[in-house]
Structures are given as C-alpha cells and as structure tokens.
Amino acid sequence: MREIKLRPLYGWYEPLIWVRTGARHDQQQETGVTVTRETVLEALKNITDPVSGSDIVSAGVARAVTVEGGTVRFVLEIDPGKSDAYGPVRDQADADVAALPGVEKVSAMLTAHSEKAPPDLKPKQAAQPQQQAPQKVPGVARILAVASGKGGVGKSTVSANLACALAMQGRKVGLLDADVYGPSQPKMLGVSGRPASPDGKTILPLRNHGVTMMSMGLMTGEDQAVIWRGPMLMGALQQMLLQVQWGELDVLIVDLPPGTGDVQMTLAQKTHVDGAIVVSTPQDVALIDARKGIDMFRKMNVPVLGMIENMSTHICSNCGHEEHLFGHGGVAQEAQKLGVPLLGEVPLHLEVRLAGDNGTPIAAAQPGSAQAKVFLDIATQLVDAGAA
C-alpha cells in the first residue's frame, strides 16, 4: 500500500501528512470494542523518544490525539534536523495504534519545527528574500482563476460548469479545487474515492465529464474538517499544483476560496496565472467584495478577463414571470466602471442547483437548455480570445 506524502513547502513550518490509500490494516477486525483516547496514549507511551530517552508522550512528541469512532488521529512534533531518527518511531506508532482493538484507521501528521524563530512580521527591506518568479505548471498551457470577493455567490458552480463547457468544446481541461476548507467540486463533478499514487510522491487526479480534477475533498472524509494554519494551507496548494500528474492540459481552472487571503496570494506569487474571472451576484453587498477581488488581482499583476453575474434573474416555471430577486445589472455596471468585460449572466434556476447536487453540472447534464447555454457562450468567448 502506497502512501501519498504531502509536504507543504512554505517557510519555517513543515508538516508532513500521511494519507493511507486503502482499507484498514490486516490485523484490524470488527471487534465490537470501542477505542478510547486513554488507550491510545498508553500505547504511545510504550514507544521511546530517540532524543530524550523518555516515551514520546512524556517528551511532548506525541500530541493532539483524537479518537472518532474507530478513527485515530495524532501528531508527532519533531526537530527537523533529526527527522531520519523518527522514521522508525512513526512506523512503530502507526503499527501499535493500528493493532489496538476497535481501531479501524490511523491518520498521523508529522510536523517539524525548526529551531529558528518564525519570520519577522515587520519585514525589513534589507532582509527581504529575493522573490522567485512565478513558475508554470508542467504540461499546463494556461491557468485561469475563478474567484469571488465573498462566499455564497456560486463561484464553484460557475467553475464546474465552465470546466465542462470547455471540455465539450474539445479542450483538455483540468479543475483544481483550491477551496481547502470547503471543497465542493467532488460533489459537483460526481467524483469519489481517494487519488492513487504510483510512487508515494506524485498524485494521480480523478476524471469525470471530460475534466481532470483534484481536490482536498478527495483526501479527507466528507465530514472531516481541515484545520490548518496558513503555512500548511499554502504548502498543500503548491503540492496540488506541482505534484499532481495533470498531464497535457489546454487550461487548468482553479476554483479559489472566497476573499483575498493566503490561497489567492500564494497562487499569484508562486504560479503563473494567465487570467482571473470574478463571480458576483447583483446586490451591492456582493459587488463591494467583488471590487476588492479585482483590485487584488490587479495589484498582483494577474489579468482580469471579466466578470460573471450569477443568480441574475429568475423565471417562474409555472407562469413564466421574470423576477430579479437580487437586483439586476449591477455586475454589468460594475464591469463597465472597472473596465472589464461582462462575460455572462447566469440565471437563478432550480435545475442548475439540482444538476450540481447530482454530480453532473448543468452544462453537461442539459447542454441544450438556456441555463447551460450561458456557460457554453462564456467558454466560446474564452476560446476565441485565446484564454482557454
């Protein structure tokens, strides 16, 4: 059984996560016994810390032990200069905990803190490191970021449908779900199962509807929260970009989380992004944040290809009456004011929501519908402009 090793690459904090890609260990059977945190700690106390000579619990190496049903998670916090010495410790901890009655799965995180102080939050000009130029992702011709200033405006729905629409036009399309805390693309694209790894380092993405897809949602349980600080978040993003075997792609769409934070900055600074699309609903509260998103991309020298107005209008399925529940034309006016194109207006329609929930975006499920036509038109504009 191979392990997928995700080693975030950022700064002084280097976590390492093992994600086991298979069933429980052979010796783990249904016993009817419930494992407890105290039982796990007692097992870990039998393992000697190679540095202090005491057990790894007393030495403060084994931390954050949690037990949820038959799943056990814990952290081993070590000195990075002695990482080789802790390989056998990690293996023994994994084996001893997995052998406990009632344990079905073991998830270990190895974190390495250097002895150097964390970076000064007040940067000094003379001490600033040389900024590396953004790099291209091997095999990927173009990267398009789909962003929003705030959550809940349908950015992930737009990303999934745009990816399918581009694939229907014969483009080789990838979709990276960069919303690590709230990944939704596995659900929207109808993809499940853990990605495989041929060598324990590179990751094989999954594919559906002609779209090659990778998401942190495939690496964790559906109900499992990702509780990471910025350095871990940024490192994981870089690995999903650079350690995934994307193959030859015409375009990689990156579904960003809302806001203007760590993920957006890391993507723009570390990776060559060919353009950004900003999604917003028509109401003022969404447009305020959309302006901030556009301002961020401009400050980071990422071209803004245009805006998309989602939930633009609603047509009653019974009587045909058209209503603008969130207002109308706000994004068009904002796009004109900011000097960027309005790429399309996506209606608020039940079928769009149902298609996404069922794992087949509306662009693929009902390509002849008026709702799908909006996404197909946007994809045509991007292809004709040479942006996808």
Tokens for 186?
Answer: 């596995």
Q: Helix, strand, coil: what percent of the chain each, to 5? A: 30, 25, 45
Q: Helix (H) and strand (E) counts for the chain? A: 11, 15
Per-residue 3-state assignment (H helix, E strand, C coil) for 106-119: EEEEEEEECCCCCC
When mean pLDDT is compared across 26-35, 166-175, 376-385, the lowest value belongs to 26-35
Indicate the residue type of 230.
G
89 vs 383, more confident: 383
Query: What per-residue confidence (pLDDT) applies to 224?
Result: 78
Give the CA dihedral 254, 255, 260, 266, nearest 10 degrees.
-30
Q: Any alpha helices (H) in 223-283, and if so which ranges?
A: 230-242, 262-270
pLDDT value of residue 283: 80
Show the domains of the chain with their CATH numbers. Answer: 3-113 (3.30.300.130), 143-384 (3.40.50.300)
Contact between residue 252 and residue 272 where contact means Cβ atoms under 8 Å apart = no
The answer to whether residue 120 scores a pLDDT higher than 90 is no
Examine the pLDDT at 192 and tell me if it is beyond 70: yes
d(C-alpha 230, C-alpha 87), whole Å: 26
Report pLDDT for 331.
87
- Residue 48 is given by DSSP the state B
How high is the pLDDT of residue 127? 44
Average pLDDT value for residue range 324-342:
81
